Chains A and B, each alone.
Chain A
Amino acid sequence: MAGLLKTNTPPRWLLAELTYACPLQCPYCSNPLDYTKYKSELSTDDWKRVLTEARKMGAVQLGFSGGEPLTRPDLVELVQHARDLGYYSNLITSGYGLTEEKIMQLKTAGLDHIQVSIQASSQELNDHIAGTASFEHKQNVARLVKKHGYPMVLCVVIHRENIHQMPEILAMAEALGADYLELANTQYYGWAHLNRDLLLPTKEQFETAEAIAQAYKEKVAGKMKIYYVVPDFYENRPKACMNGWATTFLTIAPDGVALPCHSARDLPNFDCPNVNDFSVSDIWHDSKAFNFFRGFEWMQEPCRSCDEKEKDFGGCRCQAYLLTGDASATDPVCSKSPQHYVVDELIATARTSALSSNEKPLVFRNSKNAGRRLSD
């Protein structure tokens, strides 16, 4: 069997989650709710080996993320190693703690691009959502990134607390000279799943914001590229998650656990292999976890006999699990799913919460809340 599986497509995209440590506390963070449980971090040499092995297999896009990757003291060294191997490396950062000196060191080491996330277009809201006073600094970092010749990508995660700022967010990105603006509607995993009633915008809010963003796209064509990541709760078909399970993306968590998608750690009884125990190639080709949802054999109806399965691969496994309790079910976002009503219900619940005057507070992503969740 192992021999046959070697015909798998190789990974193209490697996401290196260097650490779960982060000075921010975003309530939509995609890190696991119990991230404090995973204390160990791969050593510098382990990361270098992982980068080398994945590059040999064909990975070329590399994301350094976390948590906050800047908290790793060996970041520059890893960037240098990635450059030597021929990766295109992306630093995905909150910008917190990024100095001009560090930006220059990273440039010399061969970093290709820095993506800075900003939480909102106003200081008050940014600092509230980030759980940390960081707005001024982020703006400054964005300017420095540009000054030092990197393509500058601003990323703003969109949800109910900031969606009304869409016009100001667009104007801010343009004023900062962003080459790319990623408007990422919240994906409801991890902490965002927990806070969904408070974060999910209403359909009207979505539609208004999207129309504003699309119009702006034309206005800034040729100057700033806008990536609009659609939220799929208001669609009739799910997203083609990860371009198909274990076909393109490989995530390595801080402790060395390899994941076909960065949320897969939350799937139950899903024994994800660790790079401390196996080579990246063995993990990719032969591990149970990576083969679990490959191809179409695992599908249930209605996906199994659906003529659209090669388009969306049945949707997202983590979303299917979070919303139906069954990771092999049809993604309930699909209107053909017998459990599509679950999505209608959660939209209605969030809407009720949006219209009520006494919403419960957001649960911020920090070790206190992670600890509390654990003892629940």
Chain B
Amino acid sequence: MTLNPEQLLTFSPLHRLQWEEVQQKTVILYPEGMVELNQSSAEILKLCDGTRHLAQLVQELETTFETSGLTADITAFLEVALDNGWITQN
């Protein structure tokens, strides 16, 4: 599956994104499984709430972290996320 830059990004309703206090990490929970996220992946996924497409998401993160040139990294991660079913488009 390839990412469509025109379409909105939504975190999958079949997964749950949650902060775990004991591990001090954000995790993705799904049937009988769990993925631990690093901080940047967690920040990206939190913005996948069905209101932004790729460019908007990149821009927002670049503003928050006062940096630029994140497009390639974010796109690569979102493709992994899409492949794993963590996010959906349309």
Q: Which residues of A contact B (CB under 8 A)?
A: 10, 12, 57-58, 60-61, 63, 86, 88, 90, 112-113, 115, 149, 151, 153, 179-180, 222, 225
Residue B16 is within 8 A (CB to CB) of chain A in the complex: yes
Q: Which residues of B contact A63 (CB under 8 A)?
A: 32
Q: How far is the CA of A332 from the CA of B18 in the complex (A)?
A: 40
B13 contacts A61, CB within 8 Å? no
Choose one: A60, A90, A149; the contact of B27 (CB below 8 Å). Answer: A60
Given A113-B31, A151-B31, A179-B31, 12 other A-B residues pairs in contact with their CB atoms under 8 A: A12-B34, A58-B23, A61-B29, A61-B32, A90-B32, A113-B30, A115-B31, A151-B14, A153-B31, A222-B83, A222-B85, A225-B85
Contact A112:B20 (CB < 8 A) given known A12-B34, A60-B34: no
Q: Which residues of B contact A112 (CB under 8 A)?
A: 16, 29, 31
Q: Which residue of chain A lies nearest to B28 when distances are taken between CB atoms in the complex? A: A88
How far is the CB of B51 from the nearest CB of chain A, in Å? 21
Ranked nearest first, the 5 interchain pairs of A and B with the lowest CB-CB distance are: A58-B22, A88-B29, A151-B14, A113-B31, A153-B31
The interface size bin for chain B is: 10 to 19
Residue B76 is within 8 A (CB to CB) of chain A in the complex: no
Q: Which residue of chain B lies nearest to A10 when distances are taken between CB atoms in the complex? A: B22
Q: How far is the CA of A88 from the CA of B31 in the complex (A)?
A: 8
Q: Which residues of A contact B29 (CB under 8 A)?
A: 60-61, 88, 112
Choose one: B23, B34, B85; the contact of A61 (CB below 8 Å). Answer: B34
The contact string, 1 if C-beta is below 8 Å from chain A, for chain B 1-35, is 10000000000011010101011000101111110
Q: Which residues of B contact A151 (CB under 8 A)?
A: 14, 30-31
How far is the CB of B26 from the nearest CB of chain A, in Å? 12
How many A-B pairs have beta carbons closer than 8 Å: the answer is 45
How far is the CB of A270 from the nearest CB of chain B, in Å? 26
Q: Which residues of B contact A (CB under 8 A)?
A: 1, 13-14, 16, 18, 20, 22-23, 27, 29-34, 83, 85
B18 contacts A86, CB within 8 Å? yes
Q: Which residues of A contact B34 (CB under 8 A)?
A: 12, 60-61, 88
How far is the CB of A285 from the nearest CB of chain B, in Å? 14
Q: How far is the CA of A179 from the CA of B22 in the complex (A)?
A: 30
A88 contacts B16, CB within 8 Å? yes
Contact A58:B20 (CB < 8 A) given known A149-B13, A179-B14: yes
Q: How far is the CA of A45 from the CA of B22 in the complex (A)?
A: 24
Can you spell out 28 A-B residue pairs with CB atoms less than 8 angstroms apart?
A10-B22, A12-B34, A57-B22, A58-B20, A58-B22, A58-B23, A60-B29, A60-B34, A61-B29, A61-B32, A61-B33, A61-B34, A86-B18, A88-B29, A88-B34, A112-B31, A113-B30, A113-B31, A115-B31, A149-B13, A151-B30, A153-B31, A153-B32, A179-B14, A179-B31, A180-B31, A222-B1, A222-B83
Q: Which residues of B contact A153 (CB under 8 A)?
A: 31-32
Q: Which residue of chain A lies nearest to B83 when distances are taken between CB atoms in the complex? A: A222
Q: How far is the CA of A102 from the CA of B78 in the complex (A)?
A: 37
Q: Which residues of A contact B13 (CB under 8 A)?
A: 149
Q: How far is the CA of A331 from the CA of B57 in the complex (A)?
A: 51
Q: Which residue of chain B lies nearest to A58 when distances are taken between CB atoms in the complex? A: B22
Q: How far is the CA of A103 from the CA of B30 in the complex (A)?
A: 18
Q: Which of A88, A151, A179 has the most CB of B within 10 A?
A: A88
How far is the CB of A22 from the nearest CB of chain B, in Å? 20
Q: Which residues of A contact B32 (CB under 8 A)?
A: 61, 63, 90, 113, 115, 153
Q: Which residues of B contact A90 (CB under 8 A)?
A: 31-32
Q: Which residues of A contact B16 (CB under 8 A)?
A: 88, 112
Q: Which residues of A contact B18 (CB under 8 A)?
A: 60, 86, 88
